[in-house]
């Protein structure tokens, strides 16, 4: 692919925000509410701590933003926490980071899609019974767009992203300028708990759900246009600035309007109604929120395929995950991500609350590993200003580690243990695949200079079914491959509709291709067994150094035509591979098919 065309399929800064930041930006719809839900148990006194808790989260956001800006520069090939841990904390820790990020990517897709559908069914209750179908449809659309191309998906997402960001800032600005709420404030319930350190820490950990997705840009640096590092860094800073501003602004509105949790209306809906009124503007905010929550899954589709491609290059997942399609898409990573999310959505019946308890745990494990790895990175590099950079990452490591511990304790009995299990299973799988590739490498003598190739005496066996153009082409190619060529065919003596052995031999002799034909009888109507037995007899005779089986097949131009084929080649291939040591060549011939 020409370089100019390749660069057009990559991301600019606005496209990067749209493709890789929706998870973080859309989290303002549930992050502040998560804080309020915890603090509300202490009544109105607890709600007064919403702003301090939010400011603490924004401090952590700032630390993460600048840290991942440094990660982008230090590891321009992407991978985020995985790349940092691999370089400075060892292979096993890097696999834990990769597993935790993959889990979070899959959960993000499932939570984002289900949350978007939940917002839609809240506006249209008649659709509630079809929520699982709607989740599947939304997931299919997002997957199809990402299979088409990363840049193309980003272009589609720019408009709804701009509408959402403008709508949220409009709510904040208009709300802060409004001295009297247009609706009656929602008062908090009576306090059932005093405001203590544990309650504040729990609120902090819950609100940290708003930080999921901050790492996605660092994981996907290769998807940006040149200069990739500078574009990715600007995108990371823009994300941190927008998200931090929206979180602080919404927390100010929460205190300004004294809103509290409402079982029938989201916190963002209450703030929007209080700031703008129940009018067209209110529905614009709600629908843009619905769209962004559903589309926030795109963050995972931008980050996880790049991560799995790096794992593939390190031999921890199948190498096929490192292959790109024409539009710079890691297609297999996209499909596996969509499949895993589909399983979660169907298993949870489209219920967001069934998925939320284990959401964000994985990403904070990755955050912590990344911060610790970057501290070690600066200590080893010792460049100008390394003390300040290491201090920034050290503070981030302490904060993310604390948040991780609190998340695990608070959510362990609600399904958090599943994250531990899933991480352990994935790391074990990665290790198993790595060992398999190592054994294959030993068998191939990878890294060694092989001896010069030797010409061996080979016998080429061509299974045929009739005298036709396909047989002619196959024998011609076989004669150019081996020292000796023989054709074999299988007949069924009891088959009255098929040709007999005598008829086949007569047709063969009339054609006279200068290749002998061996007729094998099969009373069980099996095609593969007689050929396998014949190959074993030839191998036992030890008259040739190598047996080659050339299986001719007709390649039909249209998919529907291929459904008409008898799959004879597939059956022979499987049986010969399983029961003999013969070399198999599947010959797919393109012959002109009249329309």
**DSSP code of 358?**
G
Lowest mean pLDDT among 53-62, 156-165, 244-253: 156-165
Maximum C-alpha span of the chain: 101
Q: What are the tens digits of pLDDT across the range 85-116?
A: 888 888 889 999 889 888 888 888 888 888 77
Q: What is the mean pLDDT of the chain?
A: 81
As a dihedral over the C-alpha atoms of residue 137, residue 141, residue 146, residue 148, rounded to 10 degrees, the angle is 130
Predicted confidence at residue 4, as pLDDT, reads 54
Tokens of 204: 């902090």
- Quote the CA–CA distance of 242 and 50 in Å, as a whole number: 19
- Quote the CA–CA distance of 498 and 442 in Å, as a whole number: 48
Residue 521 has pLDDT above 80, yes or no: yes
User: How confident is residue 595, by pLDDT bands cut at 50, 70 and 90?
Assistant: low
Please give the backbone phi and psi of residue 564, each rounded to the nearest 5 degrees, phi first.
Answer: -80, -15
Predicted confidence at residue 270, as pLDDT, reads 84
Percent of the chain with pLDDT over 90: 14
Q: What are the tens digits of pLDDT across the range 219-234?
A: 778 888 888 889 999 9
Residue 591 has pLDDT above 80, yes or no: no
Tell me the Ramachandran region of residue 64: left when phi exceeds 0, alpha when psi lies from -120 to 50, beta otherwise: alpha
For range 66-78, the mean pLDDT = 81
What's domain 458-589's architecture?
A: 3-Layer(aba) Sandwich (3.40)
The 3-state DSSP class for residue 480 equals helix
User: How confident is residue 185, by pLDDT bands cut at 50, 70 and 90?
Assistant: very low
User: How confident is residue 316, by pLDDT bands cut at 50, 70 and 90?
Assistant: very high
For range 507-536, the mean pLDDT = 87
Query: Which of the pair, 61 or 303, is modelled with greater confidence?
Result: 61
All CATH 3.40.50.620 domain ranges of the chain, comma separated, are 458-589
Top-confidence range, 141-150, 440-449, 549-558:
549-558
Q: In what side-by-side order are the strands of the sheet with 484-491?
A: 517-521, 484-491, 458-463, 546-554, 583-589
User: How confident is residue 161, by pLDDT bands cut at 50, 70 and 90?
Assistant: confident
User: How confident is residue 378, by pLDDT bands cut at 50, 70 and 90?
Assistant: confident
For range 556-574, the mean pLDDT = 77
User: How confident is residue 206, by pLDDT bands cut at 50, 70 and 90?
Assistant: confident
Class of domain 3-437: mainly alpha
Q: Which residues contact 402 (CB under 8 A, 6 or more apart)?
A: 201
All CATH 1.20.1740.10 domain ranges of the chain, comma separated, are 3-437
For range 232-256, the mean pLDDT = 91
């Amino acid at each position: 692919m020409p370089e100019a065309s390749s660069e057009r399929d990559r991301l600019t800064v606005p496209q990067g925000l749209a493709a890789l930041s929706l998870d973080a930006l859309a989290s303002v719809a549930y992050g502040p509410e998560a804080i309020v839900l915890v603090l509300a148990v202490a009544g109105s006194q607890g709600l007064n701590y919403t702003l301090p808790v939010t400011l603490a989260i924004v401090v952590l956001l700032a630390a993460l933003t600048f840290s991942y800006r440094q990660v982008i520069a230090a590891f321009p090939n992407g991978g985020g926490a995985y790349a940092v841990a691999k370089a400075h904390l060892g292979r096993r820790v890097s696999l834990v980071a990769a597993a935790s990020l993959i889990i979070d990517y899959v959960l993000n897709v499932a939570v984002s899609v289900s949350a978007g559908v939940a917002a839609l069914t809240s506006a249209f209750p008649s659709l509630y019974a079809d929520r699982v179908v709607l989740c599947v449809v939304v997931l299919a659309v997002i997957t199809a767009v990402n299979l088409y191309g990363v840049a193309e998906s980003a272009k589609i997402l720019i408009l709804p992203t701009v509408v959402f960001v403008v709508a949220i800032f409009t709510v904040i600005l208009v709300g802060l300028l409004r001295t009297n709420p247009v609706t009656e404030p929602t008062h908090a319930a009576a306090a059932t708990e005093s405001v203590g350190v544990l309650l504040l820490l729990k609120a902090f950990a819950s609100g940290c759900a708003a930080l999921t997705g901050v790492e996605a840009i660092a994981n996907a640096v290769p998807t940006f246009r040149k200069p990739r590092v500078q574009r990715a860094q600007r995108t990371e800073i823009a994300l941190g600035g927008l998200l931090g501003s929206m979180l602080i602004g919404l927390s100010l509105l929460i205190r300004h309007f004294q809103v509290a949790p409402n079982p029938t209306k989201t916190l963002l809906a209450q703030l929007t109604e209080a700031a703008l009124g129940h009018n067209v503007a209110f529905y614009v905010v709600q629908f843009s929120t619905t769209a962004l929550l559903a589309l926030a899954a795109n963050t995972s589709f931008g980050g996880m395929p790049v991560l799995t491609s790096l794992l593939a290059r390190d031999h921890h997942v199948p190498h096929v995950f490192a292959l790109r399609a024409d539009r710079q898409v890691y297609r297999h990573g996209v499909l596996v991500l969509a499949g895993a999310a589909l399983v979660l959505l169907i298993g949870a019946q489209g219920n967001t609350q069934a998925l939320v308890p284990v959401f964000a745990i994985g990403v904070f494990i990755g955050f912590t590993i990344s911060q610790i790895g970057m501290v070690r990175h600066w200590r080893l590099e010792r460049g100008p200003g390394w003390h300040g950079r290491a201090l920034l990452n050290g503070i981030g490591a302490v904060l993310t580690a604390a948040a991780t511990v609190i998340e695990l304790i608070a959510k362990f009995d609600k399904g958090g243990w599943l994250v531990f299990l899933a991480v352990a299973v994935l790391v074990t799988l990665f290790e198993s695949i790595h060992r398999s590739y190592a054994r294959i490498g030993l068998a191939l003598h990878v890294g060694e200079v092989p001896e010069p190739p030797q010409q061996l005496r080979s016998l080429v066996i061509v299974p045929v079914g009739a005298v036709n153009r396909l047989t002619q082409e196959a024998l011609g190619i076989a004669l150019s491959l081996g020292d000796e060529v023989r054709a074999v065919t299988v007949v069924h003596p009891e088959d009255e509709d098929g040709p007999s052995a005598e008829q086949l031999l007569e047709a063969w002799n009339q054609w006279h291709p200068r290749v002998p034909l061996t007729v094998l009888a099969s009373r069980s109507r099996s095609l593969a067994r007689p050929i396998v037995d014949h190959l074993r007899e030839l191998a036992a005779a030890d008259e040739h150094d190598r047996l080659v089986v050339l299986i001719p097949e007709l390649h039909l131009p249209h998919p529907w035509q291929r459904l008409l084929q008898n799959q004879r080649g597939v059956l022979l291939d499987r049986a010969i591979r399983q029961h003999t040591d013969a070399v198999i060549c599947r010959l797919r011939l393109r012959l002109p098919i009249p329309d």
